[in-house]
């Protein structure tokens, strides 16, 4: 089962969103159109627009209204990726050259700013102050999460709790509000939008943990960038933290991470190998599964409409992404 099969029932709506995204970022300034289109073409899982659309089914569904939520949320996500690539010094993403590689850091920074601002022009077409407040508050949290990630680079003493707080801000929150705002935009009852927020939050946590697992266990072909990228840049993820709790492994792993930090090794291969041999992988998988269980539980209170089953299917898929 591929993600796109799960999206099959929404094909035309998703195409409309894709078209609107392309139209939104089009600019008279060729360079901005080029960088933005380059990003759009690189694709992505589009999980945020999908969650917006499905959550909109719990209210008075209107594609026109939901587009004004889905397009900005995906564009904001895209803008953060461009800025992340500058920070991470990433050469490729999703198998494509990053903007900072194909152009340069300056272009990448302003492309991010531009896409972000364009996203706001779309959502401000909605006359719902509460939506704008939730969105801007979430973006603040995302920025804090990004900053925490820089702060925590190579910090091998951080707690699991610390990691979870960081990915909550960095990833889970935007996915959570994709569900919440989809419901709010279509005037679904507050009880439903709150339950959908909880669903999205838990899927988002599982999503990031799985992403971090993929970075350690995936192939370059599957993940679109060299595996071990996180460790190479000093991003200590959940499986690594668990591996560091393993007595027989701890010292060797600390040593390998120190070598990466001091740039005495060119890649993170040895460190990745150690983590893969540890219980860290299995333990992280289990935690991702637990988040999915919580996500499914959050759905229980929702009315039985097809969108509910779609959401559940996507949640189950997220924790099963192969590596």
Give residues in contact with its own copies (CB under 8 A): 27-29, 31-32, 83, 86-87, 105-107, 109-110, 113-114, 116-118, 120-121, 124-127, 129, 132-133, 135-137, 139-140, 142-144, 146-148, 150-151
Nearer to its own copies, 153 or 300 (CB): 153
Q: Contact, 25 vs 37, CB < 8 A?
A: yes
Let me know if 147 is exposed, middle or buried by CB neighbors in 10 A (0-12, 13-18, 19+). Answer: middle
Q: Write down the least CB distance from residue 234 to its own copies, Å.
A: 12
Q: Judge whether 69 and 181 are in contact, CB under 8 Å.
A: yes
Residue 7, helix vs strand vs coil = coil
Q: How far is the CB of 141 from its own copies (least distance, A)?
A: 9
The rounded distance, in Å, linking the Cα atoms of 6 and 136 is 30
Nearest distance in Å: CB 118, its own copies: 6
Contacts 24+ apart (CB under 8 A), 276-279: 276/216, 276/217, 277/249, 278/239, 278/242, 278/243, 278/246, 278/249, 278/253, 279/242, 279/243, 279/246
Residue closer to its own copies by CB (options 141, 194) is 141
Residue with smaller CB distance to its own copies, 146 or 246: 146
Least separation, in Å, of the C-beta of 79 and its own copies? 9
CB of 122 to its own copies, least distance (A): 9
CB atoms within 10 A of CB 50: 24
C-alpha–C-alpha distance, residues 299 and 239, integer Å: 28
Q: Cβ 120 to its own copies, closest distance in Å?
A: 4
Q: Which is nearer to its own copies, 150 or 190 (CB)?
A: 150
Q: Which is nearer to its own copies, 58 or 114 (CB)?
A: 114
DSSP string, 8-58: GGGHHHHHHHHHHHHHHH--SSHHHHHHHHHHHHT----HHHHHHHHHHTT
- Nearer to its own copies by Cβ, of 18 and 148: the residue is 148
């Amino acid at each position: 089962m591929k993600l796109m099969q799960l999206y099959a029932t929404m094909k035309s709506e998703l195409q409309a969103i894709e078209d609107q995204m392309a139209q939104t970022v089009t600019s008279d300034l060729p360079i901005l159109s080029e960088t933005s289109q380059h990003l759009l073409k690189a694709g992505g899982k589009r999980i945020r627009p999908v969650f917006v659309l499905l959550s909109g089914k719990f209210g008075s569904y209107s594609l026109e209204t939901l587009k004004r939520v889905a397009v900005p949320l995906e564009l904001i996500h895209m803008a953060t990726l461009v800025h992340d690539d500058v920070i991470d010094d990433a050469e490729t993403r999703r198998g494509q050259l990053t903007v900072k590689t194909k152009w340069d850091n300056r272009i990448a920074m302003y492309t991010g700013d531009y896409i972000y601002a364009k996203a706001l022009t779309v959502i401000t077409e909605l006359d719902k102050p509460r939506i704008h407040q939730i969105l801007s508050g979430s973006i603040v949290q995302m920025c804090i999460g990004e900053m925490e990630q820089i702060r925590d680079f190579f910090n091998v003493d951080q707690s699991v709790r610390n990691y979870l707080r960081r990915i909550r801000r960095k990833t889970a929150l935007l996915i959570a509000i994709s569900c919440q705002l989809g419901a709010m935009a279509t005037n679904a009852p507050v009880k439903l939008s709150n339950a959908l927020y909880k669903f999205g939050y838990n899927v988002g946590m599982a999503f990031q943990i799985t992403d971090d697992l993929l970075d350690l266990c995936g192939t370059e072909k599957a993940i679109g960038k060299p595996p071990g990228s996180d460790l190479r840049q000093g991003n200590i993820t959940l499986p690594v933290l668990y591996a560091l709790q393993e007595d027989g492994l701890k010292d060797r792993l600390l040593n390998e991470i120190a070598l990466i930090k001091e740039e005495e090794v060119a890649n993170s291969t040895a460190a990745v190998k150690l983590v893969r041999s540890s219980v860290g992988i299995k333990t992280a998988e289990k935690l991702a599964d637990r988040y999915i269980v919580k996500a499914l539980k959050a759905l229980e209170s929702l009315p039985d409409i097809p969108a509910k089953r779609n959401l559940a299917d996507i949640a189950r898929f997220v924790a099963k992404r192969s590596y």
